[in-house]
Structure 1
Amino acid sequence: MKQPMVFFDIDGTLLNENKVIPDSTKKAVRLLQEKGVHTVIATGRVPKMFSWIQKELNISSFISMNGQYVVYEGQEIYANPINPELLQSISTLTAINGHALAYCSHDDFKVSKENHPFIESSFDSLMMPYPIVDNSFYINRPIFQGHLYCNHEDKYQYVDHFPDLDFVKWHDYAYDFLPKGASKAVGIRKLLEFVDINHENCFAFGDGLNDSEMLSMIGTGIAMGNGVPEAKAAADLITTTSSKHGILNGLIQVGLLEKDAAAEYVNEAI
């Protein structure tokens, strides 16, 4: 039987609330890799936003932008850009309404407005600086995901106006938008088809709304203790929080790591 794959969300999963990779998570990933288990990042982020995590954890495969852009061991294997006409239309409408967008490509991302409070608040939550502004970034380049920055009530006019897009909340004032039906689960299926591994032999960790489909479709879905109710409901089991060794605990629970891997953390409420 081929070695399984383990898919890891980033925020609230690989990273704790301080946007740091806990030592127990670093150890857990390293032990998996030493056993020959494939480790893969599965995130809503743009690759540029997590290259430092790849380097620190020695992970070269990823599902990015909620399944829109997939790389296996450094090789692009799936790319699903948003229709340019849709991008033009939503760009025009947000400009009229005074809302803002981010445009996410495979190699970079830019935002449409300067000093927008919702962009600032959203990126503060990621502990990242305000992005570079370029409201024409989407022209003549593939854009795989966008961010819509607006109030919750205002989101519905975009949902109604753009039935070919899905809008997924990731912050109080920020929504990923993607082609209808796109998700981390779709990206995972593309990767598993490429490497010819059955999803039943795989595992996934996540905590957010955009993790729910991934957690329900994979062989064993593991929700973080800090996860939203939707993620926990979709999972097969719930581990501890990202700050309380949730990755290590979960891998021990499903039998991928031995209990003695946690020995040095037993006094930290593992």
Structure 2
Amino acid sequence: MTNKILFFDIDGTILDNDKNIPNGVEESLQKARDNGHEIVISTGRSPFTAKSVLERLKIDSFVCYNGQIVQFKGQILHKGIIAKEELKPLTDFANVRKQPIVYMDSDEMVSSFPDHEDVFESISTLKIDFPRYAEDFFLTNDIHQALIFCSAEEQKEYEKAFPNLKFVRWHRVSCDVLPKGISKAKGMDLLLKHIGRNPEDAVAFGDGLNDIEMLQFAGTSVAMGNCVEELKEHATFVTDHVSESGLSNAMKKLGLI
């Protein structure tokens, strides 16, 4: 098989529901690497919250923040930001509704509320610490991605009020906030062009709503057995659950290992 560029989501794809790497995944990724395939992480996480996975799996290429930061073999190719002119009215809109925002720059996550149960509920599922509180953090820092904490119904109000922003739900009480048009697919495209490869050379693995564009873009795409229902129609095929060797089985089926 011609060597491929393999793009892996983290949560629900490489990590199981308990944020552990299932048995066989490390070995499978190393076999794919030994077979000449390039391993790339493609995640909604920040580089710093993905760091432990990147280091353990010895991966130095990634698409983070859903396409806002792209790196290939240690070289940063792209860093996108959300304009302050968009963040200020978004913050005002959320404050009126007493709904927190978490702002993310290159180094940390900062909350607009000092304490909020929705922030705790969602952030705790990632097994990371509650973000520190800082007022108007977005005014003095470059924000790559934000999180808004609201219901799916309330999300529609944000989408109507802010047509230049993109809202992608990842949790019952939270969704990612990005500039309109940004996606993992955009980051993948930039990385592939940098190394002179085409979408047909890409294989994508994912499980969430923020993986839809990624699976549509890649020449071959795999939805995890634990994926959201909407993702299945965009995949070349659906593999087993992440905790049931889904990733390794898919890689074997594709002849990558």
Distance across 1 between alignment mates of 2:138 and 2:202? 35
Partner of 2:26: 26
TM-aligned CA deviation for residue 75 of structure 1: 1.0
Q: How far did 1:137 drift?
A: 2.0
CA drift at 1:2: 6.8
Q: Would you say the 8 A contact 1:2–1:197 is kept in 2? A: no
Name stretches of at least 5 consecutive residues in structure 1 with no aligned partner.
258-270
Shift in Å, 1:99: 0.5
Q: Distance in 1 between matches of 2:118 and 2:147?
A: 11
**TM-score (normalised: structure 2):** 0.97
Between the aligned partners of 2:176 and 2:72, the Cα distance in structure 1 is 23
141-150 or 38-47: bigger deviation: 141-150
Task: Please tell me whether the aligned partners of residues 67 and 186 of structure 2 are also in contact (alpha carbons under 8 angstroms).
Answer: yes
Query: Contact 1:4 / 1:197 at 8 angstroms: preserved in 2?
Result: no
8 A contact 2:13–2:206 mirrored in 1: yes
Give how far 1:156 is off. Answer: 1.9
Task: Please say if residues 14 and 25 of structure 2, whose CA atoms lie closer than 8 Å, have aligned partners that are also in contact.
Answer: yes
Relative to the length of structure 1, the TM-score reads 0.92
The correspondence of residues 203-214 of structure 1 with structure 2, limited to 5 A, is 203-214=203-214
Tell me the equivalent position of 2:227. 227
Partner SS, residue 98 of structure 1: coil
User: How much identity, in percent, do the aligned residues show?
Assistant: 36
2:12 counterpart residue number:
12
How many residues in Structure 1 have an aligned counterpart in Structure 2?
Answer: 257
Cα deviation 1:75-126 (Å, max 9, x = unaligned): 1101221111111111122112100001111222211112211101101222
The corresponding residue for 1:39 is 39
Q: In the alignment, which residue of structure 1 is the partner of 2:148?
A: 148
Question: Cα RMSD over matched residues?
Answer: 1.3
The residue number in structure 1 matching 2:245 is: 245
Alignment of 1:127-146 (within 5 A): 127-146=127-146
- List per-residue Cα deviations over 1:198-256 (Å, max 9, x = no partner): 11011010000000110111010000000111111110011111111111101111111
DSSP 3-state at the match of 1:86: helix
1:112, 1:162 → 2: CA distance? 19
Instruction: List 4+ stretches of structure 1 deviating above 3 A.
Output: none
State the alpha-carbon separation in 2 of the partners of residues 252 and 239 from structure 1. 11
Query: Could you list the runs of 5+ residues in structure 2 that have no partner in the other structure?
Result: none
Structure 2 counterpart of 1:99, which letter? Q
- Tell me the secondary structure at the aligned position of residue 33 of structure 1: helix
Partners of 1:5 and 1:202 within 8 A in 2: yes
Q: State how 1:107-186 maps to structure 2 within 5 Å.
A: 107-186=107-186
Counterpart residue identity of residue 4, structure 2 = P
AA at the equivalent of 1:38: E
- 8 Å Cα contact 2:166-2:179 kept in structure 1: yes
CA contact (8 A) 1:94 1:100 kept: yes
Q: How far apart are the structure 2 equivalents of 1:18 and 1:131?
A: 20
Check conservation: 2:49, 2:128, Cα contact below 8 A: no
For the structure 1 residues 99 and 204, does the alpha-carbon distance in structure 2 shift closer, same or farther, using more than 3 Å as the test?
Answer: same
How far apart are the structure 1 equivalents of 2:131 and 2:189?
A: 31
Quote the residue 2:54 is aligned against: 54
* Aligned equivalents of 1:107, 1:73: Cα separation in 2: 19
Residues in 2 aligned to 1:176 and 1:135: alpha-carbon distance in whole angstroms: 20
Name the SS of the counterpart of 2:139 in structure 1: coil
* Contact 1:14 1:242 (8 Å CA) reproduced: yes
1:44 partner letter:
G
Contact 2:118–2:173 under 8 Å retained in 1: yes
Residue by residue, what CA displacement relative to the aligned partner does 1:128-164 show, whole Å, maximum 9, x if unpaired? 2211112322123221111000122222221111000
**8 Å CA contact retained: 1:215, 1:221:** yes
